[in-house]
Amino acid sequence: MTGDAAGSPPRTGRRRFRLNSTPARVWALTVVCVVAVTGLFASANTALGQARSGLDVLGRDAGPRAMATTDLYLALADMDARMADVLLMGTDHDLGSGRADALDRFEASRRQADEALLHAASLTEGDSVEERTVQAVLDGMGAYERHASRALLLNDEAEAPPGRVDEEALEEYRKATQLMHTELLPKAFNLGLDSSAIVRQNHEEGQRSVAWGMLTVGGVGAAALAALVALQLYLRLRFRRRFNVPLLGATAGVLALTVGVVVTLELSNDHQRAAKEEGLDAAMALARAGAIATDMQADQSRYLGDPELADNYQQVYLERAQQVLFRPAENLEQYYAAVDEVADAYPDLPGADGPDDDDPGTLGYLGERAQGSLLPGQEDALAEVLETYERLHAADRDLRAAARDGDLAAAVETRMSVADSRDGAFPAYVTALDELTDLHRRAFVDGIARGDAALTPWRLGLPVLTLTVLALVALGVRPRLAEYR
């Protein structure tokens, strides 16, 4: 088109381009149409690009990183749990799955914690507050290991029998576990929360910019439609033709492009939201439920190994249990009964909308999961988690009953069988929880993939459709302009 104009003799060209002549008006309207269609392409391209990069950040960057930070807390809690077990075993190296197994697992968790810390250090570059937190955890790890290995050495030297941790070893272990629970675990947990916050901020910014993109595409698309209709009407009036078919085609193309892109953006936003909420958020909440339960079950060993602080360890066991699954309970007996009730009633949940106004319902990490919408297979997996959780507490009841009756040997044996990595009640709970978590991890990966799949056709579709529309405009206008040559 522009080739025609440039090729025209300059003298007549000046006359033609005055707006009061018909060809000049056709030209002007055509330019408006082309600009609007090009603008539509640009805005759609930007919005689709934002949607794509939003999915990319969540699916391949911030999301997986956030999952990785929850590993740090789990690894640290597991280290302290294994150490408590080994001290409690004393000279009987064959209790449960044995001392060598516990020490191997301690070592594996230590390596995992190191790795997670290095990972966290690379993520927090540039944020001085978080960098200091990572550094503090690194320093604390060294101090923890010194206390822990000294406790182990002292206990071995004293040849402490099972269940009777040596006094000096206990002093050292108290320092270690105190350090773990006041310095290391809180900071590790908070780092995980920080990365969740980053995911949320990225996600919401992404969703907002895509929503703005939808508005822009809609607005520019409407402008392009208006321009095409105006051109159509002008040609119809001026040239007394019924319809300009190529222009009709271009109009239909713009309509399809606008509606198609807006619908796609909406769809990809929905997939992204599902990936985050049903996938990532749920998987991370469950990972926390696993990490806190790891610390909780180790309170059994601490309770048996440190009689002086037994009341405290029993209390924190209950407090951690209530973070995992909350039901109103003043003491462990009430809590055991409440957990039984939840496991039996599921998928119904006790307390919700019940007669008691003071009962807030079934809450905590597991309780809140149970209230959420269901993925396929989730109900069965969650039922299994609740059942294994119930069995874990049934073993806890036996353990404490034996301890109260003064049968320390039986209590220690129960404890070590709970932790037994082959068939213990705690590993069974972890396995069930992992299966449920995997469902959500898959939902996360699937949601991202669906979002990507919705966007993919536009990679080629957008330029092809835009060029087609522009070609149709040219086809529609060119014969009319030719009449003025």
Exactly one of 215, 233, 263, 482 binds other proteins (CB under 8 A); that residue is: 215
Residue 68: count of CB within 10 angstroms of its CB = 16
Should residue 414 be labelled a site residue for other proteins when binding is judged by CB under 8 A?
no
331 binds other proteins (CB under 8 A): yes
How crowded is the C-beta side of 146, counted as CA atoms within 13 Å? 6
Q: Which residues of 122-148 are buried (b: 16+ CB within 10 A; e: fewer)?
A: ebbeeeeebeebbeebbebbeebeebb
Nearest distance, CB of residue 84 and other proteins, angstroms: 19
Give the type of residue at 248. Answer: L
Choosing from 64, 219, 307, 328, the residue that interacts with other proteins (CB under 8 A) is: 328
Strand-pairing partners, residue 358, are: none
Closer residue to other proteins, CB minimum distance, 112 or 315: 315
Q: Where are the beta strands (DSSP E) in 206-335?
A: none
C-alpha distances in Å from residue 31, one per residue of 2, 10, 28, 45, 256:
10, 20, 5, 21, 21
In sequence order, which residues have a C-beta less than 8 Å from that of residue 405 and are 6 or more positions away? none
Q: Indicate the residue among 337 and 464 with the shorter CB distance to other proteins.
A: 337
Q: Which is nearer to other proteins, 182 or 431 (CB)?
A: 182
Contact positions with other proteins (CB under 8 A) in 26-65: none
Long-range contacts of 165-174 (CB under 8 A, 24+ apart): 165/87, 165/88, 165/90, 165/305, 165/306, 169/87, 170/87, 170/305, 170/306, 172/147, 172/148, 173/83, 173/84, 173/87, 173/147, 173/148, 173/305, 173/306, 174/306, 174/309
Task: Please pick, from the candidates 185, 217, 399, 418, the single residue that binds other proteins as defined by CB under 8 A.
Answer: 185
Structure tokens belonging to residue 163: 């269940």
The span from the CA of 247 to the CA of 244, in Å, is: 5
Binding residue (CB under 8 A) for other proteins from 155, 322, 414, 417: 322
Token code pair at residue 356: 């008691």
The count of residues interacting with other proteins (CB under 8 A) is 37
373 binds other proteins (CB under 8 A): no
- Among candidates 277, 280, 270, 281, which has minimal Cα distance to 451? 270
480 near other proteins, judged by CB under 8 A:
no
Residue 316 touching other proteins (CB under 8 A): yes
Q: How far is CA 319 from the centre of its chain?
A: 26
Interacting span for other proteins (CB under 8 A) from 1-9, 238-246, 326-334, 384-392: 326-334
Stretch that binds other proteins, among 63-71, 97-105, 202-210, 470-478 (CB under 8 A): 202-210
Q: How would DSSP label each residue in 43-109?
A: HHHHHHHHHHHHHHIIIIIIHHHHHHHHHHHHHHHHHHHHHHHHHHHTT-TTSTT-HHHHHHHHHHH
Query: Residue 361, interface with other proteins (CB under 8 A)?
Result: yes
How far apart are CB 400 and other proteins at their closest, in Å? 12
186 binds other proteins (CB under 8 A): yes
196 part of the interface to other proteins, by CB under 8 A: yes
Q: Judged by CB under 8 A, does residue 364 bind other proteins?
A: yes
CA dihedral 123, 128, 132, 133 (to 10 degrees): -60
* Site for other proteins, residues 104 to 163, rule: CB under 8 A: 129, 132-133, 136
Q: Which residue among 312, 371, 431, 456 contacts other proteins (CB under 8 A)?
A: 312
Q: For other proteins, which is the closer residue by CB, 27 or 335?
A: 335
Let me know: does 90 contact 216? Beta carbons within 8 Å.
Answer: no
Q: Considering only the stretches 109-117, 186-194, 257-265, 451-459, report the one whose residues sit in contact with other proteins under the rule CB under 8 A.
A: 186-194
Closest to 154 in 3D by CA, of 175, 128, 176, 172: 172
Nearer to other proteins, 159 or 353 (CB): 353
Name the residue nearer to other proteins (CB basis): 19 or 129.
129
Residue 330 found at the interface with other proteins (CB under 8 A)? yes
Q: Which of 5, 31, 197, 482 binds other proteins (CB under 8 A)?
A: 197
Q: How near is the Cβ of 236 to other proteins at its closest, in Å?
A: 37
User: Which of 240-270 are b and which e, b meaning 16 or more Cβ less than 10 Å from the residue's Cβ?
Assistant: eeeebebbebbbebbeebbebbbebbebbbe
Q: How far is the CB of 387 from other proteins (least distance, A)?
A: 22
Compute the least distance from the CB of residue 90 to other proteins, in Å.
26
Q: Does 187 bind other proteins (CB under 8 A)?
A: yes
Of the candidate residues 22, 46, 190, 468, the single one contacting other proteins (CB under 8 A): 190
| 94/204 with CB nearer other proteins | 204
Asked if omega into 347 is within 30° of 0 (cis), the reply is yes
Stretch that binds other proteins, among 34-42, 211-219, 237-245, 256-264 (CB under 8 A): 211-219
Decide if residue 319 touches other proteins (CB under 8 A).
Answer: yes
Q: Which span (78-86, 189-197, 342-350, 424-432) binds other proteins, by CB under 8 A?
A: 189-197
Q: List CB contacts of 294: < 8 A, sequence separation 6 or more.
A: 74, 77, 78, 81, 426, 430
What is the binding site for other proteins (CB under 8 A)? 129, 132-133, 136, 182-183, 185-187, 189-190, 193-194, 196-197, 200, 204, 207-208, 211-212, 215, 311-312, 315-316, 319, 322, 326, 328, 330-331, 358, 360-361, 363-364
